Structure 1
Amino acid sequence: MTHASHDLTLADIARHLNVAFEGDGKQPVRGLATLKEAQSDQVAFLANRAYLKDLVATRAAAVLLHPEHAESCPVPRLEIDNPYLGYAQLSQLFDPLPARDVPGIHPSAVVAASASLGEGVSIQANAVVEEGVVLGEHVVVGAGSVIGADSVVGDHSRLHANVTVCHGVVIGQRVILQSGCVIGGDGFGFAHDGSRWHKIAQLGGVVLGDDVEVGSCSNIDRGALGDTVIGNDVKIDSQVQIAHNVTVGDHSALAGCSGIAGSTHVGQHCMLGGGAGLAGHITICDGVQITGMSLVTNSIHKPGVYSSGTGAMSNAQWRKNAVRFKQLDDIANRLSRLEKNHRGQM
């Protein structure tokens, strides 16, 4: 449930979405809520048919919905082809976070003399901004965050508390980095001499495009030589690992706990489900969706949906299938022999 810091009206909401509405335009709207929980001063939305059962009894001030459901709505309605997108746009009106941003440098923050700060920058308690950093206009550096030397952060970007941006990282405009993420840490690069490992210095950087969001406790490693590059409008969930020299194309999305090994290229408009893993040095073309917990070890050159692994089942059934899996090679050989014998008898 959300509440606005100032009152809006139903007419304000409709103007923001550029949609028509039915009802009292002066009706105050103080927040958003679900169909079931909404009160008479809150707007609800219907984006999933599974919640149609909650529409008929809603007490919301108005409901954001597709025109096909308009006749079932007992309260004023805001008709829109994509209600979930409309909800996303409305949520920005009720977000209290920007109102708490105070431009200036907190007394406990450490900012290098050579750092360049744009207009309206907010640097919060115990943050560190190192030598040669460039911060664009209205950048917010959250409490305890660190921005390494010679990094660049574009206009209107936000680092939440305890974000680490290492040296030589380039971050675009309107980027959101959630707490605990690390951008530009060393990639996993080591050479083995037969008895021990020798570290390879990671000499590249990381480049994040505009409108990127990185979830909490996710890691994007710097390149070994060239840069790790994340395109525009890429959305990365929490606890995601992106290794050195990976490239991710514009408008792709990576769900939680997914991982991409080094030097892999992911195209535009791709989606990785939770826990999906991509092997290193492969290419995923544009428009590919990898379902959750899938393991991809070879390049994909055709758009579409790809899966691996099996769904959950009872342990007893899984144990039987595991035994059969070990027997697949023998079964395949026996089947091949039977087919040859059958052809020989024809």
Structure 2
Amino acid sequence: MSVYTLQTLAEHLGAQLHGDGAVEVSAVATLEDAQSGQITFLSNAKYRKFLQQTKASAVLIKAEELEFCPVAALIVKDPYVAFAKVAQLLDTTPAAADGIHPTAIVDSSAQIDPTAQLGPYVVVSKDVVIGAGVQIGAGSFIGEGASIAADCKIWPKVSIYHRVRLGQRCIVHSGAVLGADGFGFANERGQWLKIPQVGTVIVGDDCEIGANTTIDRGAIGDTLIGNNVILDNQVQIAHNVQIGDHSCIAGCTVVAGSTKIGKYCVIGGACAITGHIEICDAVQITGMSMITKAITEKGIYSSGMPATTNLEWRKNNARYRQLEQIYQRLRDVEQELAQSRNVTGE
């Protein structure tokens, strides 16, 4: 268990300390549940009532909240970002593997750094390269010619196909599949003919790939995931997709083939994005949206309809079905008004 004084944390964060710098903390917690020896944060003023009652040893807050804080405080510009940095220091997540387990199967041609860790029943195929500090959890498969750069953490039962490349410090969660074939078929008189997917997947540095997320290999070129891209659980990335640096995609979203997503994009959960389009930098797409054409200007885009009562939904659905009739009637009324103005000389 790691223990830090408030003075050390203040120096690490560049924060202004109010209170005893010798106070020690060893864990993070919520404002409502924090106890002595723990540090918490306040980033939303609506939770201020919990601040005044907190039993935490210290709180990460903005300067304007200091007067409401009954315990030691670290004054920061963004409490949530500061909380993330402190949580990293106090992280108690175990390693994905410890040492080289005797049941691991490693091809003699594989290049494995001496500091890498391989869990039980890991399979490392021909010509694989595994960098320093890599951890690969139990039952994971690393395909021929794949490379995993330094300090990646691969959780159990991950499948990394042939020639897939991961950058440094990536995290891949259980059940993820990187480099499976894309959905490439030609149809000859009703018969589906498979098109071999000969590209691969290239993932940049500092990426995180959620549980049961799939990233298909390129059909001819490569599927490209930029630096510091985060993909939630159960996300589907099709072949030849490109995702720019620092973008993120929430759970259950699907991105069809050959689409290009820019840098700093934020895409909500359960979205569907069609193939062969481009989305420019700094676009936000709210959950359950369907994107069917290119987005060329940064901003927020939405199409998903929020739930309402069943009665209201049925009424609106009935009206929607009459939309064409309503449109025709409105056009007829506009034409009649225009003719009337012509007759009266208005």
* TM-score (norm. length: structure 1): 0.96
Percent of matched pairs sharing the same residue: 46
CA-CA distance at 1:101 after TM superposition: 5.3
Pick the aligned partner of 1:67 from 63, 69, 74.
63
Q: Which amino acid aligns with 1:93?
A: L
Distance between the aligned counterparts of 1:99 and 1:258, measured in 2? 29
Give me the whole-angstrom Cα distance separating, in 1, the residues matched to 2:311 and 2:94.
Answer: 53
Q: How many residue pairs align between the two structures?
A: 341
1:51 and 1:292 map into 2 onto residues whose CA distance is: 25
Distance, in Å, in 2 between the alignment partners of 1:323 and 1:194 is 40
Superposed counterparts of 1:138-177, under 5 Å: 138-177=133-172
The letter of the residue matching 2:26 is: R
Letter in 1 for 2:93: L
Report the Cα offset of residue 195 of structure 1. 2.2
Name the CA distance, whole Å, in 1 between partners of 2:174 and 2:124. 17
Q: Which amino acid aligns with 1:91?
A: A
2:216 equivalent among 218, 221, 224: 221
Distance 2:306 2:285 in 1: 15
In the TM superposition, what whole-angstrom CA distance separates every residue of 1:240-299 from its partner, at most 9, and x where no partner exists? 000000000111000000110011111111111010110011111111111000000011
| Residue aligning to 2:344 | none
Structure-2 change in CA distance of 1:249 and 1:100 (3 Å): closer
The counterpart of 2:201, out of the listed 195, 203, 206, is: 206
What residue ranges of structure 1 are gaps of 5+ in the alignment?
none
Give the residue type in structure 1 aligned to 2:227. Answer: N
Contact 2:37–2:56 (Cα < 8 Å) also in 1: yes
Q: Which deviates the most, 25-34 or 312-321?
A: 25-34
Which structure 1 residue ranges, 4+ long, deviate > 4 Å from structure 2? 98-101
Amino acid at match of 1:41: G
Matched, 1:136 2:128: no
Is residue 86 from structure 1 mapped to residue 48 from structure 2 by the alignment? no
Per the alignment, residue 36 of structure 1 pairs with 32
The 10-residue stretch of structure 1 (117-126 or 182-191) with the greater mean CA deviation from structure 2: 117-126
Deviation (angstroms), 1:56: 0.5
Provide TM-score, normalisation by structure 2. Answer: 0.96
Partner of 1:179: 174
The aligned residue for residue 301 of structure 1 is 296
2:264 maps to which of 239, 262, 269: 269
1:174 Cα deviation after fit: 0.6
Which residue of 183, 191, 194 corresponds with 2:186?
191
- Matched with 2:48 is 52
Cα root mean square deviation, aligned: 1.2
Aligned residue number for residue 282 of structure 2 = 287
Aligned to 1:335: 330
The residue type paired with residue 298 of structure 2 is: P
Match of residue 318, structure 1, among 295, 313, 321: 313
2:18 pairs with 1:22: yes
